[in-house]
Each structure stands twice: as C-alpha cells, then as structure tokens.
C-alpha cells in the first residue's frame, strides 16, 4: 500500500475542513468576508498570526496577491486560537452530518487508532505546517482524532511535496502549469480562479517551461517535462512513506479499507466533489477503484 494511495484516501476526509457547509458556516460566524479568508484562516491558524508572505510560502502555489487580499486582515477578524476552535467545530458538525451515528461506531474507533499511530510517525523536521499541526492537542472524539491524524499526515506530505518542487526548480505557477499539461487539464481559468494567477502569469510560466524544454511549442508536456514531474512525485511519495512503514502492511491495508468506507459517504454527500479539484483528485473515481 503506497503513500500515494493512502493520501488519496485520507485527503478527502481532511477536506471536510474546507468543503463542508458546516465549516463555512463557522467561518462566516467569525465574520470572515468570503471563503478565501476562511480558508487561509483555518489552514494557517496553527502557525499563528503569520503574514501573507509566510502563508504563500508554506501553501506554495497561491499567488501572494491572492493571499494578501485575506491575510493579515484574517487575524483582525479572529485570533488564530478562535480559528482553530471554529475549524474543529466545523469539522465536527460536517462529519456528523455526513456520517451520522457512525462517528462513534467500531469502524471509526479502529480507524482513529490506526491513523493516530501513523500520524505520530509523520516526519515534521523541515515541515512547518506538519509541525504546527502536530503540536496541537489531540481531540477526544474518535472521528476528530481521525481528522487530526489526517491533517498531520497531509500537511507532512504537503511540506515534503513543496521541498521536492523547490529541488525540482518548479516555482509556484510553473508547478500548476506543468501539472495541468501533464494531466491534460484544460480548465486553465479554473486553476487561475483557485490560486490567483492571471492569464499573463500563466503564459509567462509556459514560456519559461518551453525555454527549459519541459513544454513543447504547443504547450504540451515533453518527455523531459514528464520526467521532471515524475521525479517530483516520486520524491514526494518516498518522503511520505515512514508513517505507513511504522503502521505496517496489515494496519495500513486495514486503514485503507476503513477510509474507503468513509470516503464513499463523503462523495455521496457531494463534499469536495469539485473540478478542478485543488489537489487534483477525482473522488468519484477513487471510490470505484
């Protein structure tokens, strides 16, 4: 069971943080103006009241100006501590709405225990978002223990992915352009809307990638571009293997089965089923595999 496969299964569970209407209701109640202020506040709160530059650096593929429209104004709306409280409350309400009584079922208890073991082994050195979340207290309820575990695991993997992108020489917008070309994702406007890059930014990144031989004159991925992308993903996966080595094959496979059951419920509820998905996931396809 690879680190990549486990990521596709636990990422949507964590994604309730940002996609569940109950979570949005919590940030609206705080006084956030729009979804982006809530998103940046919820995800960055573990770091403290950091400036836009730190958020853009750690999140990596957002344009700084997009982040600066929300941060640091976010911290005037509510303190990071209040955002963390709202985050947990929104996740709690969202998961209860999706899973009902199963939030206290045997499968949830088992999944939370397995995921916590994996998360406690997730690397945090050189991984600021993972370390910040790992430093937070563990919740008590099993469905929230599972959520916190998936948060630490996904931020540890994400921090490792950023390191691989930096080592691979792909800047934030080049990362999105190369990904879109590699996956043949044609919705450029969708990515621009998600991350804040303009058509001019996108075209300039395409030009730089063409000059390096990673895109051809039609802005299609080249063999060298595919190899560069593959190398980044391989490095990311390798740097995320430790939790699953610690959990062991049997524990990892059992957690995968349990997460798949929860993921089916999340997909059925339509939570996070968006295109383009910000993490490049096709949730409907994942549950069918």
pLDDT by residue (tens digit) across 50-66? Answer: 999 999 999 999 999 99
* pLDDT > 90 in the chain, percent: 84
**pLDDT tens digits, residue range 74-113?**
999 999 999 999 999 999 999 999 999 999 999 999 999 9
Which pLDDT score, from 0 to 100, does residue 282 have?
58
Helix, strand, or coil (residue 30):
helix
Which pLDDT score, from 0 to 100, does residue 273 have?
45
DSSP state of 114: H
pTM: 0.93
**pLDDT tens digits, residue range 256-281?**
999 999 999 998 888 754 455 555 55
pLDDT tier for residue 192 given thresholds of 50, 70 and 90: confident
Which pLDDT score, from 0 to 100, does residue 188 have?
65
Burial class, 167, CB count within 10 angstroms (exposed 0-12 / middle 13-18 / buried 19+): exposed
- Long-range contact list for 230-235, CB < 8 A, 24+ apart? 231/164, 231/168, 232/161, 232/164, 232/165, 232/168, 232/170, 233/4, 233/164, 235/160, 235/163, 235/164, 235/167, 235/168
Write out the two tokens for 259. Answer: 């997460």
Write out the two tokens for 48. Answer: 């403290």
Distance CA 233, CA 221 (A): 16
Residue 189, pLDDT > 90, answer: no
Which pLDDT score, from 0 to 100, does residue 193 have?
72
Name 221's bridge partners.
Answer: 215
Contact assessment for residue 4 and residue 237, using Cβ atoms and an 8 Å cutoff:
yes
Which pLDDT score, from 0 to 100, does residue 278 have?
57
Name 215's bridge partners.
Answer: 221
Which pLDDT score, from 0 to 100, does residue 69 have?
94
* pLDDT > 70 in the chain, percent: 91
**pLDDT tens digits, residue range 205-247?**
999 999 999 999 999 999 999 999 999 999 999 999 999 999 9
Which pLDDT score, from 0 to 100, does residue 289 have?
59
Helix, strand, or coil (residue 127):
coil
Distance CA 23, CA 4 (A): 26
How far from the centroid of its chain's Cα atoms is residue 191's Cα?
A: 15
Q: Which of 20-24, 127-131, 194-198 has the lowest mean pLDDT?
A: 194-198
Write out the two tokens for 94. Answer: 């969202």
């Amino acid at each position: 069971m690879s680190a990549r496969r486990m990521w596709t299964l636990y990422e949507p569970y964590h994604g309730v943080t940002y996609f569940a209407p109950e979570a949005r209701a919590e940030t609206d109640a705080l006084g956030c103006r729009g979804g982006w202020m809530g998103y940046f506040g919820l995800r960055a709160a573990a770091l403290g009241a950091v400036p836009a530059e730190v958020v853009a650096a750690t999140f990596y593929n957002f344009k700084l100006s997009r982040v600066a429209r929300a941060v640091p104004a976010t911290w005037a709306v509510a303190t990071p501590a209040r955002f963390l409280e709202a985050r947990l409350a929104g996740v709690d309400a969202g998961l209860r709405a999706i899973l009902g009584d199963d939030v206290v079922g045997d499968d949830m208890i088992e999944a939370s225990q397995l995921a916590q073991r994996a998360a406690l082994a997730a690397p945090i050195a050189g991984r600021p978002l993972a370390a910040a979340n790992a430093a937070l207290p563990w919740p008590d309820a099993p469905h929230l223990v599972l959520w916190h575990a998936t948060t630490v695991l996904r931020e540890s993997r994400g921090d490792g992915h950023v390191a691989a992108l930096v080592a691979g020489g792909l800047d934030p917008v080049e990362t999105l352009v190369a990904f879109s070309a590699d996956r043949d994702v044609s919705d450029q406007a969708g990515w621009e809307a998600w991350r804040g890059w303009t058509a001019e930014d996108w075209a300039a990144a395409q030009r730089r990638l063409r000059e390096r031989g990673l895109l051809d004159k039609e802005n299609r991925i080249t063999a060298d571009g595919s190899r560069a992308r593959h190398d980044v993903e391989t490095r990311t996966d390798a740097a995320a293997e430790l939790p699953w080595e610690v959990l062991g094959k049997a524990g990892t496979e059992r957690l995968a089965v349990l997460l798949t059951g929860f993921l089916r419920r999340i997909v059925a509820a339509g939570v996070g089923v968006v295109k383009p998905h910000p993490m490049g996931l096709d949730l409907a396809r994942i549950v069918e595999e």
